[in-house]
Amino acid sequence: MQRGANSFAATVVTIALGWSLVARAEPTRGEAAWATVRIHAPECETAAFRAKAFLQLLDVELVADHLRTETGDAARSAELTVTIDDTVCDAAQQALAIRLSRGGAEGEIKRFIELGDVAPNARPRALALAVAEHIRQTRASPRLAASFDPGDPSADAAAHPFESTFASEPAHQAPTPRLGADVAGSGAWRNFFSDGSALFGAQLSVSFPIGSSWLRCKADFEALFDHVTDQLGTADLSYYSAGIAALATTRGSTMFFVGPRLELGRATIAGGATVPPFATQKESHAIVLVSGLAGTRLPIGTHWGVLLEIEMGVAALGIKVLADDRAIGSLDGVFASARAGIAFAY
């Protein structure tokens, strides 16, 4: 009798446990349904990107949003498809493009994720966080939410074009990339205030970003000339120099920059006397200039731009043009420069 009672109790417990598991497996009324996000990502396992780790971390990030991920082109209806660019496998890439779409023929949007400052071993985690956030932002669109019901796979997607869902949502645009290498040719003017010497010439320069940071390096070659006239004669001044600058820049198509500049050059003075007993002479001297440089680059189309610069500085090592012990010109003391030219980015 006791053994029969025990058997009956065990049967009741088993049935009750089974009903509880079935009830737990089925979503209750009012509980959010689970949706599917299809992930197309390269299957590389490199130092720059570990695909399996990324997918596992992305699953963890999306659990709270009632989202499950799957790879490949399975038959299950997917609310979104996220495509990761193949360049993620390259450690040299500083930025990565991802594309989110609702259907192959219904358009897509592109987002950019910057990875320049992320260590290679931390990229899967950083990428999973960024992709999850872009998925949430996309699904948060009221028009997208109204156009797709994850519980109704037979919904007519053509009635709600994916392109129009994002046409009025520019708030999550990708950061504007910084300018790459740039070559410029400019007309140049420089004035030394101590004796009012004004030189005119040209400058050829190249600038390039330092890594993915806000710093740029600019290297240039400049040639300036001046002709000085005095009651005792004339002097022709020619000056050739090379300079280098470290510039802090802004992001965007119109770029502003500012930073210190160092210039090393050599000036040649060829003097001709018109009144005896003064004689014609020619001298050459080294010049060292230290200055601050500021300017802007205004875009003209995709590659071309207008370059405008101003500069203020002082000659650490200069030269004066003398006539009978009188200074009639100089490359010495405080100076100001201005340049305007055309730049080409490649």
Indicate if 166 and 187 belong to the same structural domain: no
Q: What integer pLDDT is reported at residue 145 of this predicted model?
A: 43
The mean predicted confidence, pLDDT, of the chain is 76
Q: Please state, in angstroms and rounded to a whole number, the distance separating the CA atoms of residues 100 and 81.
A: 6
Are 73 and 166 members of one domain?
Answer: yes
| Separation CA 2–CA 6 (nearest Å) | 6
Q: Which residue has the tokens 């040299």?
A: 92
**Do 198 and 133 lie in a common domain?**
no
Pair (64, 186) in one structural domain: no
Residue 107 burial class via C-beta count within 10 angstroms: exposed 0-12, middle 13-18, buried 19 and up:
middle
Q: Say which residues have a Cβ less than 8 Å from residue 228's Cβ, sequence separation at least 6.
A: 197, 234, 235, 236, 237, 321, 328, 329
Q: Is residue 28 part of a domain?
A: no
For residues 167 and 191, membership in a common domain is answered with no
pLDDT of residue 178: 63
**320 and 228 co-located in one domain:** yes
- Is residue 92 one of the residues assigned to a domain? yes
Q: Is the peptide bond before 150 cis (omega within 30 degrees of 0)?
A: no
Query: Do 158 and 192 share a domain, yes or no?
Result: no
User: Would you tell me how many other CB atoms lie within 10 Å of the CB of residue 75?
Assistant: 6
The model's pLDDT over 66-108, given as tens digits with 9 standing for 90+, comes to 888 888 765 467 788 888 888 778 777 777 888 888 755 456 7
State the Cα–Cα distance between residues 262 and 244, nearest whole angstrom.
6
Q: Can you give the pLDDT at residue 25?
A: 41
0.85 exceeded by pTM: no
Q: How far apart are CA 250 and CA 245, in angstroms?
A: 16
> Is 132 found in the same domain as 82?
yes
In-domain check, residue 260: yes
For 273-305, the pLDDT digits (tens) are: 666 655 556 788 999 999 999 999 999 987 899
Domain count, the chain: 2
Q: Is residue 271 part of a domain?
A: yes
4 domain-assigned: no
* Boundary residue ending a domain (172, 193, 218): 172
pLDDT in tens, 189-223: 999 988 778 999 999 999 999 876 789 999 999 99
Indicate the residue among 172, 205, 227 that finishes a domain: 172
Contacts of residue 340, defined as CB under 8 A and 6 or more positions apart, other chains included, come to: 186, 187, 306, 307, 308, 309
Phi, psi of 58 (to 5 degrees): -65, -40
Domain co-membership, 256 together with 131: no
In a domain, 5, yes or no: no
Question: Tell me: the pLDDT tens digits for 309-338?
Answer: 999 999 999 887 766 666 667 788 899 999
pLDDT score at 168 = 37
Contacts of 242 (CB under 8 A, 6+ apart): 219, 220, 221, 222, 263, 264, 265
202 and 163, same structural domain?
no
Out of 131, 146, 172, a domain closes at: 172
- Answer whether 223's CB lies under 8 Å from 234's CB: no
Q: Are residues 145 and 286 in the same domain?
A: no
Cα separation of 51 and 47, whole Å? 11
Look up the CATH number of the domain holding residue 206: 2.40.160.20
Is residue 27 a part of any domain in this protein? Answer: no
The answer on 137 and 217 residing in a single domain is no
Give me the percent of the chain exceeding a pLDDT of 90: 27
Token couple for 188: 């140049």
Query: Bigger pLDDT: 148 or 39?
Result: 39
Parent domain of 46: 34-172
DSSP annotation of 31: P
Distance CA 113, CA 175 (A): 8
